[in-house]
A and B are shown apart, each in its own frame.
Chain A
Amino acid sequence: MTIVQMLSYHFMQRALIVGVLVSLCAALLGVSLVLKRYSMIGDGLSHVGFGALAIASALHLAPLAVAVPVVIVTAVLLLRLSQSSRVKGDAMIAIISSSALAIGVICVSLTTGMNTEVSSYMFGSILSLSRSDAILSVILSLAVLALFLLFYPRLFAVTFDESFSKATGTRTELYNTLLAVLTAVTVVLGMRMMGALLISSLIIFPALSAMRICRSFKAVVLCAAGISAGCFVLGTVASFFLETPTGASIVVADLICFGICSLLGSRD
């Protein structure tokens, strides 16, 4: 089996196109999230996404149409709560994510049982992406990329120093909310390929790897995007030939890349 043969499969073409786009989104947003100390937000949101998908499949509703709005609302709430409430942000994420997971699991076991569809949301199944899902994913991830690039100067300022941005008249809540919404959309899209349990690695790893070797914010963003897309392609191709699970293979590719970047970064 060669690369050319691999690329001749429609499901493989779809997986690569959608995967690269979602990886790019995750990496760009990941830089801001990691620097703002919101690394775990991706993990928390993915569990909420799983809960929403489980309920959607129990009620025979369209999975993405239910999950995207639910996760967006959660993301905005999490951000608001972590700024104002007495429960700290990380504790709040843990509470919400495990509750959502528990409700999802109960819902699944009472209705359909642990079928393949549920398992695919847990561990990802990008190779089983349907045509309509693929189109929706492409549109949403292009929207995320466009918004990130348009608001790049503002997102940088809000990430680097929120109090300065606020003091000089920037509506920081608006851009924090934008960040939360974009992250929510990316997490739901990423769940399809990585699964609820592995999606946070897609957000965190590329940013951390890039921060080991780059000096400026722009370089970190570009480098993270490159690493993310590269590791996705490597992981997917490897999983195809080695017959390993796709999501897990991508995470391992990211882990190896992180190791290499750490070594390179520690030399100087």
Chain B
Amino acid sequence: MAIIQCENAGFAYDGRTVLEGVNFSLNAGDYLCVVGENGSGKSTLIKGLLGLKKPDRGTVRFGDGLKSTEIGYLPQQTQLQRDFPASVGEVVLSGCLNSLGGRFRYNREDRERARKNMERMGIEDLEKTSYHALSGGQQQRVLLARALCATKKLLLLDEPVTGLDPVAAGEMYNLIKLVNLCDDITVIMVSHDIHAAVRYATHILHLGQKQLFFGTAAEYKESDAARRFLGGNRI
């Protein structure tokens, strides 16, 4: 049973189509990398999957009992957050927001989940540290821990390694892969880094205002889409 399924989905802003003909389905535990140039519709697709934007055509469906409020999301960082006075613990705990339901306060279960995810990301020592005092790589790990608090099934990551140095980026990729393998969490990641994409992901979705390719990473390496994207070079 597919956890997520897009059938001929298309998105438009003010009647202008920015993305069309998206057809793919993912099973639980898959790791999908969405690649494409700037303006190819990657962020639009993410918004569509999150339910922030309705498809103008076709459908986006969740299966496997996944609710739209059960998605962990790691957005692109905004300037606003960089100097925000919040401790690491507070940021991670805010990931439990969607399990509050009608409650007004986080309970012990929520706090325990936040603590576990901080441990998993190796940031438990930073709990009381101010978020804006952290390095870029540490900040992304905090946001990943927060995203993990929000989900047990599906993680959406929007360019999680942008702005990180190669070492921090590598650590981030490894952590994401670990979560994918150990916790059986389905991962959908938008990325510019096509080499990392084929190394870590099981599936690749290549967009260019329409769907150019969808298949396994191995198939993608042999595809025309990949060759064109890399200017004739093979991966």
Same complex origin of A and B:
yes
**A218 sits at the interface (CB 8 A):** yes
- Taking CB atoms, residues of chain A closer than 8 Å to B189 are none
Q: Say which residue of B69, B81, B91, B93 sits within 8 Å of A168 (CB atoms).
A: B69
B 103-162 contacts with A by CB, 8 A: 104-106, 128-130, 133, 146-147, 150, 156
**B100 close to chain A: CB less than 8 A:** yes
Contact partner of B94 (CB less than 8 A), chosen from A36, A157, A163, A166, is: A157
Q: Check if B174 is an interface residue, CB within 8 A of chain A.
A: no
Which residue on chain B has the smallest CB distance to residue A163?
B75
Partner of B104, one of A35, A153, A169: A153
CA distance A37 to B75 in the complex (A): 19
Q: Is A45 an interface residue (CB 8 A)?
A: no
A66 located at the interface, meaning its Cβ lies under 8 Å from any Cβ of chain B in the complex: no
The dominant DSSP class at the A interface is helix
Interface segment out of the listed B33-41, B54-62, B82-90: B82-90
How near does chain B come to A15, taking the closest CB pair, in angstroms?
A: 31
Which residue in chain A gives the minimum CB-CB distance to B99? A168
Contacts of B75 in A (CB 8 A): 161, 163-164, 167
Binary interface encoding of chain A residues 63-90 relative to chain B, with 1 for a CB under 8 A from any of its CBs, else 0:
0000000000000000000000000000
A169 B69 Cβ-Cβ under 8 A: yes
Q: Residue B80 at the A interface, CB < 8 A? A: yes
Residue contact B73 to A215, C-beta cutoff 8 Å: no
**Number of CB contacts from chain A to chain B under 8 A:** 89
A156 near B90 (CB under 8 angstroms)? yes
Chain A nearest CB, measured from B95 CB (Å): 8
A203-235 contacts to B, CB under 8 A, are 211, 214-220
B223 interface residue (CB < 8 Å to A): no
Q: Quick check: is B225 within 8 A (CB to CB) of the other chain?
A: no
Are A217 and B50 neighbours in the complex by a CB distance under 8 Å?
no
Is B9 an interface position by the 8 A CB rule?
no
Taking a contact as CB atoms under 8 Å apart, the answer to whether B94 and A153 are in contact is yes
Complex-state Cα separation, A37 to B82, whole angstroms: 13
Point out the residues of chain A lying under 8 angstroms from B87, CB to CB.
215-218
Across the interface, do A167 and B73 meet the contact criterion of CB distance under 8 Å? yes
Q: Is the CB of B86 within 8 A of A217?
A: yes
Residues 180-198 of A at the B interface (beta carbon under 8 Å) = none
Cβ of A165 within 8 Å of any chain B Cβ, yes or no, is yes
A214's nearest neighbour on chain B, judged by CB, is: B85
- Chain B residue with Cβ nearest A156: B94
Q: In the complex, how many angstroms separate the beta carbon of B123 from the nearest chain A beta carbon?
A: 15
Cβ-based interface call for B175 (8 A): no
Of the residues A36, A153, A156, A164, contact of B73 by C-beta under 8 Å? A164
Cβ-defined contact, A37 with B80, below 8 A: yes
Chain B, Cβ-Cβ closest to A149: B104
A216 neighbours in B (Cβ, 8 Å): 85-87, 89-90, 128, 130
Bound-complex Cα distance A150 to B129 (A): 25
> Interface readout for A158-182 with B: 1 if CB under 8 Å, 0 if not?
0011011111111000000000000
Q: Using a CB–CB distance below 8 Å, which chain B residues touch chain A?
A: 50-52, 67-69, 71-73, 75, 78, 80-81, 84-87, 89-91, 93-95, 97-98, 100, 104-106, 128-130, 133, 146-147, 150, 156
Beyond A164-B95, A217-B86: 12 further Cβ-contacts under 8 Å?
A: A153-B97, A153-B100, A160-B86, A160-B94, A163-B73, A163-B75, A164-B75, A167-B156, A168-B69, A170-B97, A216-B89, A219-B85
Selected A-B contacts with CB under 8 Å, 17 pairs? A35-B80, A150-B104, A151-B104, A153-B93, A153-B97, A156-B86, A157-B97, A161-B75, A161-B94, A166-B50, A167-B51, A168-B72, A168-B98, A169-B98, A170-B97, A215-B130, A216-B86
Nearest 5 pairs between A and B by C-beta? A169-B69, A216-B87, A215-B130, A167-B73, A167-B50
